[in-house]
Chains A and B, each alone.
Chain A
Amino acid sequence: MKSVAKKLPKVDVVIVGVGWAGGIIAAELTKQGLNCVGLERGKERKTEDYFMVHDELRYALRYELMQDLSKETITFRGNEKLRALPMRQYGSFILGDNLGGSGVHWNGQTYRFLPYDFEIRSKTIERYGEKKIPKDMTIQDWGITYDELEPYFDKFEKMAGISGEENPLGPKRSSPYPTPPMKTTPALEKFRKAATNLKLHPYNRPSGNLSEAYTNPDGVSRAACQYCAYCERFGCEYGAKADPVVTVIPVAKKTGKFEIRTHSNVRRVLKSGNKATGVMYIDTTTGEEIEQPADIVVLTSYVFNNVRLLLQSGIGRPYNPNSGTGVIGKNYAYQVQKGSATGFFEKEEFNTFAGAGALGMVLDDYNGDNFDHTKLNFIHGGSIAISQTGLRPISNNKVPKGTPTWGKEFKANSVKYANRMLSVGGQGASMPFKHHYLDLDPTYKDEFGDPLVRITFDFEEQDRQLAKYLNERCIEIMKEMGADLVDPFEELGPYDITTYQSTHNTGGVIMGADPDASAVNNYMQMWDAENVFVVGATAFPHNSGYNPTGTVGALAYRAAEGILSYRDKGGILA
């Protein structure tokens, strides 16, 4: 690092990373008159960028919109005895970059975590006793309840215009979804009918792809989704997908108080005593090192960089997996995605080439603690859903088990079943364990010479049991749907970073009521540095049986409120 950095005038708030979390914070704070600077390592983005977006190769398989791994990646190992090695190519998850972050190329499946999630430890002990929790499973309550968080969920859903209908097993809502559910499809109706026959409770998946034109409380108007089938991993050319670039970011900009600096890669949070004084970043167009002083620092740079920046900057107590003490890097969790079923239909074809990122039908009968776990070897569960995101032809060549992977028979079957295959998927919750954590890699570096983040993580017996259970339930539903052929059960196996599962990485800077066991309070304010707020799925003490972003959004609104009252009162917020 050069010794003399260019120092800029101080601002009220500096926001590191401008995706959903950063965008929401920026909108809420600038509306109240705070001057915010958003530092985003990537480039500017706009809807016009997506007129050539229906290109599976470029966007879905060459990762046009995602982080360039040649500059920065993570390292991974299954356990502490192994050497962590870099994720050289994408697989298990794909990382956001540029303005809007992953919020540009997400699907828009927008859930609220369950009341059980927020009080998971207390409620598990209350119903099953302490013995139900295996040794080393480090579940803890979140320091907030569903009821306390409800108004913030409501705010996020109204801002984004979430389309949906009441979940028959869902918790109390203060108002209905702002827009009606999306259209359904013959495949989805098949699922609904089968699930209803099985006495389960299907509902239309809450969706960030607008079912109709919508104007949100900020006055932002957006068009309806066209079911174009190029949604996940693609940007929306209609502005129909809820995305920070077409919702919160322009609202923040309009105040005149939000300055976005793209191509600005933050390397350190600067501090004096136990307060931050600003950040140091590199202007990646010139290589210049720049200091941005600020009264409040907000980290919204996704799970991995939130943790990395804190560890690099010496803020907060690093987690120690042997003693279980310390907090930064603690409770890394993921998602148990493999409990699903694939069915092949001989007599029917489906319009599965069409679809939308969040189009689907879901049920929660086997999620959270909605079912009795007394005789089961796991806690929590997962949502089960059929999705119609659009089956693009390169990535979707499922053939019945036993078909060779290439040659005559493969081709014939892959063509035959191209429009005759449906799958029902379980999205399992992921519990934290003492030895699953994030820290700094001792060997591998990013483009600036800073250490990469290291993931130590594997699936546990809890996950294998859960995947098996969800897989069996999915098979039951698939059979009831009338599939002629259903692929048999498959073991979960070890966590494998090479196959895509989900970009639902969680934990590392977790929230809670106890400063010894958590890094931030329920306003995402750091216990150890009161003017640093760390926002994102990084705050989740565990991951639920749902996609994370609805809950990330709610926590971001909560954090914004906390920052505003910190600005007035100072000190640790109660």
Chain B
Amino acid sequence: MAENANQQEKNESLTRRRFLKNSGIAIGGLAVGGALGSLIPFKDKTDKDGVKTEQKAENYNLALMFFTQQQFRMVEAATERIFPADDNGPGAKDLGVAYFIDHQLSGDWGFNAREYMQPPFFKGEKVQGYQGRLRRREIFDIGLRELQNHSLKKFEKNFIDLDEEQQIEVLTDFAEDKVQLTTISPSGFFNMMRTATLEGAYSDPLYSGNRNMDGWKMRNYPGSQMAYTDVIDQEFKVIAPKSLKDHLGH
């Protein structure tokens, strides 16, 4: 616990020092558990320049790790129907939700890496939860292909070429299990996409969605603040949001 203390002292943090003061912790005594020294995080000396360059740089995140371009455009359209732009603010597309889902599918979540995927696989009761052998990235592959098939069958057009109302109809058929599929549960796929849409709209922009924190701004969510001691007992007030980026090296 104390071994990093020196380094931490050198790399001091104004923000955390201020909170330390506000929190009124006594200095001295047996400060175990890192309650004191550890409040000052690691700060990289070169950070300042780094951050500046980064702000000027292009966003190289806007590329694909998993989807094909066609899949990507379908997801962009489908998630926009789930979470459309309106008077409140941007929809899924402008929030970068499709990039978020693409990036998530290429990692642990897409591979169900931290979930129990051992056989045997049996169909269970609904209350026993997901019992399939397919991983999320496989479900997305199949689900998007079936979304396309259903669009062609119903309207003789690609999903992305349908008008909004038609896209909603196709998605509703999935949400309400009105499509016959043998491989995956249509509503299971739809619900996965719905959940991922909300995650992409409202997770830290670090994950490529919630672009510019616009998802948070739309609902007056302050994002990742260090503390609310000053406002907790007050009436509602809008606070400008912060993201995790603000906590690195400050």
Contact of B81 among A52, A86, A240, A407 (CB under 8 A): A407
For window 197-229 of chain B, which residues contact chain A by CB distance below 8 Å?
A: 197-199, 201-204, 206-207, 215-216, 218-229
A564 close to B (CB within 8 Å)? no
Counting chain A residues whose Cβ lies within 8 A of the other chain, the interface size class is 35 or more
Cβ of B221 to closest chain A Cβ, rounded Å: 5
Contact across chains for B219 and A221 when beta carbons are under 8 A apart: no
Give the docked Cα–Cα distance between A496 and B116 (Å). 18
Check B204 against A57 for contact (C-beta < 8 Å): yes
Q: A51-89 CB contact bits vs B (8 Å, 1 = yes)?
A: 110111100011100001110010011100011011111
Check A69 against B116 for contact (C-beta < 8 Å): yes
CA distance A452 to B125 in the complex (A): 19
Q: Does residue B108 face the partner (Cβ distance < 8 Å to A)?
A: yes
Decide yes or no whether A5 CB sits under 8 A from chain B.
no
Distance in angstroms from B79 CB to nearest chain A CB is: 10
Residues in A neighbouring B236, C-beta threshold 8 A: 186, 348-351, 419
Say whether A418 faces chain B, with CB atoms less than 8 Å apart.
yes
Once the chains bind, are A222 and B35 in contact (CB under 8 Å)? Answer: yes
B235 and A48 contact, CB distance less than 8 A: no
Q: In the complex, A251 Cα to B171 Cα: how many Å?
A: 57
Q: Is B50 an interface residue (CB 8 A)?
A: no
Q: Is the CB of B116 within 8 A of A227?
A: no
The residue of chain B having its C-beta at the shortest distance from the C-beta of A254 within the complex is B32
Q: Is A290 an interface residue (CB 8 A)?
A: no
B225 → A minimal CB distance (Å):
7
Q: Are A61 and B199 also in contact (CB < 8 A) when A415-B88, A496-B127 are?
A: yes
Which of A184, A228, A498 has the largest number of chain B CB atoms within 10 A?
A: A228
B83 touches A224 (CB 8 A): no
Would B38 and A394 count as touching, CB distance under 8 A? Answer: no
Q: Does A365 contact B (CB under 8 A)?
A: no
Q: What residues of A have a CB within 8 angstroms of the CB of B125 in the complex?
A: 77-78, 82
Q: Does A251 lie within 8 Å of B118, measured CB to CB?
A: no
CB distance from A392 to the nearest CB of B (A): 8
Stretch at the interface among A212-220, A264-272, A377-385, A534-542: A212-220
A565 proximity list for chain B (CB < 8 A): none
Is A320 part of the contact surface with B, judged by Cβ < 8 Å?
no
On chain B, the residues within 8 Å of A62 by CB distance are: 108-109, 114
Cβ-defined contact, B86 with A412, below 8 A: yes
CB of A145 within 8 Å of the partner chain: no
* Cross-chain contact B23 with A238 (CB below 8 angstroms): yes
Specify which of A91, A348, A353, A414 is in contact with B129 (CB 8 Å cutoff): A91
Interface size on B, residues (CB 8 A): 85
| Cα distance, A239 to B33, chains bound together (Å) | 7
Indicate whether A394 sits within 8 Å of B199 (C-beta atoms), given known contacts A227-B229, A408-B86: yes
- Within the assembled complex, what's the spacing in Å between the Cα atoms of A218 and B33? 12
Residues on the B chain within 8 Å of A76, using CB: 128
Q: Which residues of B contact A394 (CB under 8 A)?
A: 198-199, 201-203
User: Which of A242-250, A274-282, A503-511 lies at the interface with chain B?
Assistant: A242-250
Provide the bound-state CA to CA distance between A353 and B23, in Å.
20
Which B residue's beta carbon lies closest to that of A229?
B228
Checking A243, A254, A444 against B118 with a beta-carbon cut-off of 8 angstroms, the contacting residue is A444
Could you say which residues of chain B place their CB within 8 Å of the CB of A359? 232
Tell me which residues across on chain B come within 8 A of A223, comparing CB atoms: 20, 23-25, 35-36, 39
Q: Hey, which chain A residues are within 8 Å of B235, CB to CB? A: 186, 351
Chain B window 58-96, contacts with chain A (Cβ cutoff 8 Å), 1 for yes, 0 for no: 000000000000000000000001111010110100000
Collect the chain B residues with CB atoms within 8 Å of residue A88's CB: 112, 115-117, 129-131
* CA–CA, A42 and B183, complex, Å: 37
State A48–B39 Cα separation when bound (angstroms).
Answer: 7
Instruction: Return the chain A residue nearest B193 by Cβ.
Output: A406
CB within 8 A of A226: which of B114, B122, B226, B237?
B226
B24 & A224 in contact (Cβ 8 Å cutoff): yes
Known: A221-B26, A497-B128. A48 touches B84 (CB 8 A): no
B199 A351 Cβ-Cβ under 8 A: no
Structural contact, B228 and A227, CB atoms closer than 8 A: yes
Taking CB atoms, residues of chain B closer than 8 Å to A349 are 220, 236
CA distance A237 to B109 in the complex (A): 26
* A48, B221: Cβ atoms closer than 8 Å: no
Are A245 and B228 within 8 A (Cβ)? no
A73 to B115, alpha carbons, bound, how many Å? 9
Task: Give the residues in chain A near B19, CB-CB below 8 Å.
Answer: 226, 238
A185 CB within 8 Å of chain B: yes
Smallest CB separation, B136 vs chain A (Å): 10
Using a CB–CB cutoff of 8 Å, the interface residues on chain A facing chain B are 46-48, 51-52, 54-57, 61-63, 68-70, 73, 76-78, 82-83, 85-89, 91, 183-186, 212-213, 215, 218-224, 226-230, 237-240, 243, 245-247, 250-251, 254, 348-351, 353-355, 359, 393-394, 397, 405-408, 410-412, 414-416, 418-419, 443-445, 494-498
Q: List 23 A-B contacts (CB under 8 A).
A: A48-B4, A51-B247, A54-B247, A55-B203, A55-B224, A57-B207, A76-B128, A78-B127, A83-B122, A88-B115, A89-B129, A183-B233, A213-B25, A229-B228, A230-B224, A238-B19, A351-B237, A353-B228, A355-B228, A393-B202, A393-B216, A495-B127, A498-B130
Q: Across the A-B interface, give the 9 residue pairs with the lowest CB-CB distance, nearest first.
A: A246-B33, A226-B227, A239-B35, A354-B228, A54-B224, A250-B32, A349-B236, A418-B219, A393-B202
